[in-house]
A and B are shown apart, each in its own frame.
Chain A
Amino acid sequence: MASRPYALLDEVATRPGRDTAVSAVVRWTFITLSMVFLAALLFAPLATVIAMALAKGLGAYFATFLDPDTRAAIRLTLITALVVVPINTVFGFAAGWSIAKFEFKGKSFLITLIDLPLAVSPVISGMIYVLLFGLQGWFGRYLQDHNISIIFALPGIILATMFVTFPYVARELIPLMQQLGNDEEEAAITLGAGGWLTFFRVTLPKVRWGLLYGIILCNARAMGEFGAVSVVSGHIRGLTNTMPLHIEILYNEYNFVGAFAVASLLMLLALATLVVKTLVERTGYRRR
């Protein structure tokens, strides 16, 4: 009789998937653990952000957004996202397409390059551009002579953001395109469709959910990027401050309400993105 608990464990081990008291305990332990973990690490900070933003009432909260510098930061963030996301979408599609459909020299090198921004610290990504285009940089003298400003201006911010966010669309599309293969395109071609028609009627609809998901992730990262942008922007209020940078400045000035109010807006954008993503996933997976 002493072996009874072992027998039960043995049974669990030998018959996975079967409901027993032990497996129920294990299941609930794991679920609770992850819930508590999420609550501590995610929900608590989010709640704090909201609480701090509204600490002095709704009036103070909305007053933040009347500040011209804040508005400029919001505008800059939106412009950056608007430029970066379409460019990276096109690039990601092209890269995904070429990697999934063709065999060529340097293919694995290209895949590694695409992953690079994920591996490199964003601060270093920003530094690269300073080294290239800054006054002491390789092209600094030339740019100054021709009166072109990249660092501490909008082009620098866009470049840095682009660098950091370019893997997202490509990484989402590569496995999807590899999995779906070429057959539908080939069928379309034998049925008489030309290249563009095949692309818009067959390829694009085929990968649209993966593409949309990649765009959403890319957008979320583009709006929230801090490190790389921080290095290249120069933190000029009202001019080169994006929302994440602006939040930091407000915080450092002990303007907690302002900082958290802008943070809540950024958070709202992220949440909206995530909601769209979830919706996309649901419809996407059902249709696939």
Chain B
Amino acid sequence: MSITLDQVTKRYQGVPVVNDVSIDIGDGEFFVLLGPSGSGKSTLLRAVAGLTGVDHGRISLHGRDVTHVPAQKRDVGLVFQNYALFRHMTVADNIEFALRVRRVRASARRERRRELLRLVALEGMDERLPAQLSGGQQQRVAVARALAHKPEVLLLDEPFGALDAKIREELRRTIRQVQRELGITTVLVTHDQEEAFALADRIGVMNLGRLLEIGRPDELYTRPATRFVATFLGAANLLLARQTKNGLRFGTLGAEGGADGSVADVPQGAREQEVVAVIRPEEIELAPARRALVCSYLAAGVVEEVAFTGALERLRIRLSAGAAEAELSRAANGNGDGLLEVTRSQHEQRAFGVTPGQSVAIGVRRIHVLPTPLSSFTAYAATLAQATELSLHPLLAELASRMRTRVSTRTADEHAAITGAAVIAAEPEAVAKIEWLLKEGVEEVLVLPQGAGPPQRVLIHWADDAARGATLAVAASLLRHVAAEGVYVGILPTSTPDGQRPHSMRALLDARSEAQAVHGLEMRTELRFGDVAEELARRLAESPDQILILGISQLTGLGARFGALLRPEARSPVLIVHRAADLRT
């Protein structure tokens, strides 16, 4: 491995900007770190270069641990977004800088310089000053300068950010070519998914300081595991669906058993539940009537908008009543209109032309189901006013917007089944409500005290081992959407005999590696001794911005065991994950 990052964490004023990131980058690999601004990708790159220290974790280059090695001894080449050429030196002096530092003979320096200038196609520019070059040329010089001392890895921090589209593409090709020619391990940071697709062998997508997913560009595009990656890499329609034995059902009415299992990547043998489905705009087919569709029927709809964009036609389609319920509110995306996005090729346009206002049948060629346990939220309260108030709770609204999902409301007198995770207020009867909801088949209940804010730390604990897998899955899903650190709190009774303690430690470490292997979730672990509820309450009291994810598999004695954590005066939200033990096998 060329670059190995192991649980790297960097905090600024206590807030993690890089949160438990582990990556292995192979020899000669072109790795792209992709993420929106503020996702921590640049900080991570600077940490690899040694310009930023890390608070936790280890960084090694070619097997050499460099976590505490200063930047000038790391032997990396770094290219900055704004070139950072030495403005008072000529191109030649700039490129030779690293060699001069290493006291290389003048003739050897000249030779290397000529070689590098040829590599970046800037022959004859030796005596120019940076100010006399165009932006693209300056960045080429910067690349040559970063390669002069034959570094082990090349790091590029948004190298095309300040360039216009044409130059950008040209330089992109040059960099790919140089990288191939030298076979140098390269990490590039960008917020541009097109750039990532064009360059990467593998892409790592970051958001809120966390590395969400790593994979080949095509893998990540077709099979994203998270909502964020699905919508950040290209356009995606996110729909809520009911996964049944016969396939997926969209919406509550009308669209019955539409897309069958054959078009969707559905985990085999999964139980019936609400899921989030990803449909790429180009996987949608339009036809005048359901019979005329070649692929599986999804729903009927009305064309709202048609835009010509050259090679592709971009449409927005309003789903008919019933099916529209499936559409996730995308207010978070800035287009909270609940329209289905469709792109069609010239060929498809010629076969069936549409105009705004036209009714069409919608079919899907391919559906990808996200393996996320938290599909949507339902605020549950005695009256509609209370339910609405609860659904507007700042933390819930924030979570829903980050997870790109919706919050619906339910009152006690409605009889429709609750889908997704239920949300209730922290109140004296909370325990009774939770018991009722769990008996109704709800699997996750979020108990929200008034005034709880976005968490800085997510505490994870399961009271019964049967709930372990589900708890980890929910925790992973939540941690992907909040800038918080995950901490698994293992608690042993004080009476644990000494002989059994190593065994318990083992269980703790197993939990950590399971989280990492199955869910890509990095978390810290803590071991405490005492009564479970008391220790959790004590841990929660340590700082206000925490949330507890509590996994249980038995309903009996819930109030007696954990009632104290769910009372109105508790300050921290608690997310209860329930999986009955007998259903697991």
Contacts and interface: CB of A to CB of B under 8 A. Distances in A.
A206 B87 contact: yes
B329 to A, nearest CB: 40
Interface stretch (A89-97, A128-136, A183-191, A255-263): A183-191
Contact of A193 (B50, B74, B77, B101): B101
A192 B80 contact: no
B84 A184 contact: yes
Nearest to B88: A205
Interface string A166-198: 000000000000000001101111111110010
Nearest to A197: B101
A190 B66 CA distance: 13
Contacts of B74: 190
B86 interface: yes
A192, A201, A202, A208, most chain B CB atoms within 10 A:
A192
Contact of B80 (A187, A197, A206, A287): A187
B494 interface: no
B78 interface: yes
A184 B86 CA distance: 6
Interface in B221-235: none
A192 B86 contact: no
Given A183-B80, A187-B78, A187-B80, A192 B88 contact: no
Nearest to A191: B98
Nearest to A186: B51
B23 interface: no
Given A183-B80, A183-B82, A186-B51, A191 B88 contact: no
A209 to B, nearest CB: 10
Nearest to B78: A190
A193 B98 CA distance: 7
B145 interface: yes
Nearest to A204: B88
B84 A192 contact: no
A190 B74 CA distance: 8
B51 A191 contact: no
Given A190-B71, A190-B76, A183 B84 contact: yes
Contacts of A184: 84-87
B72 interface: yes
Interface of A: prevailing SS = helix
Interface in B257-309: none
Contacts of B51: 186, 189-190
Interface residues of B, number: 29
B90 to A, nearest CB: 12
B381 interface: no
B503 interface: no
B538 interface: no
Given A193-B72, A194-B72, A197-B101, A188 B49 contact: no
Which interface class (under 10, 10 to 19, 20 to 34, 35 or more) fits A?
10 to 19
A191 to B, nearest CB: 4
Interface in B65-123: 70-78, 80, 82, 84-89, 97-98, 101-102
Contact of B101 (A183, A191, A205): A191
B98 A192 contact: yes
Contact of B97 (A183, A193, A287): A193
Contacts of B145: 187, 191
A188 B71 CA distance: 10
Given A183-B82, A186-B51, A187-B80, A192 B87 contact: no
Given A202-B86, A205-B88, A191 B149 contact: yes
Contacts of B142: 187
A160 B266 CA distance: 82
Contacts of B50: 189-190
Nearest to B82: A183
Contacts of A205: 86, 88-89
A189 B84 contact: no
A211 to B, nearest CB: 13
A188 B97 contact: yes
Contact of A191 (B70, B82, B87, B97): B97
A188 B73 CA distance: 12
Contacts of A183: 80, 82, 84
Contacts of B102: 192
Contacts of A193: 72, 97, 101
B51 to A, nearest CB: 5
B72 A189 contact: yes
B70, B72, B77, most chain A CB atoms within 10 A:
B72
Given A184-B85, A188-B97, 7 more contacts: A184-B84, A186-B71, A190-B76, A190-B77, A191-B77, A191-B98, A192-B75
For the complex of A and B, list the 8 residue pairs with the smallest distance between their C-beta atoms, beginning with the closest. Answer: A183-B84, A191-B98, A190-B78, A187-B84, A205-B88, A192-B101, A189-B71, A193-B101
28 contacts: A183-B80, A183-B84, A184-B84, A184-B86, A184-B87, A186-B84, A187-B80, A189-B50, A189-B70, A189-B71, A190-B50, A190-B51, A190-B78, A191-B97, A192-B73, A192-B101, A192-B102, A192-B149, A193-B72, A193-B97, A197-B101, A201-B97, A202-B86, A205-B86, A205-B89, A206-B88, A287-B88, A288-B87
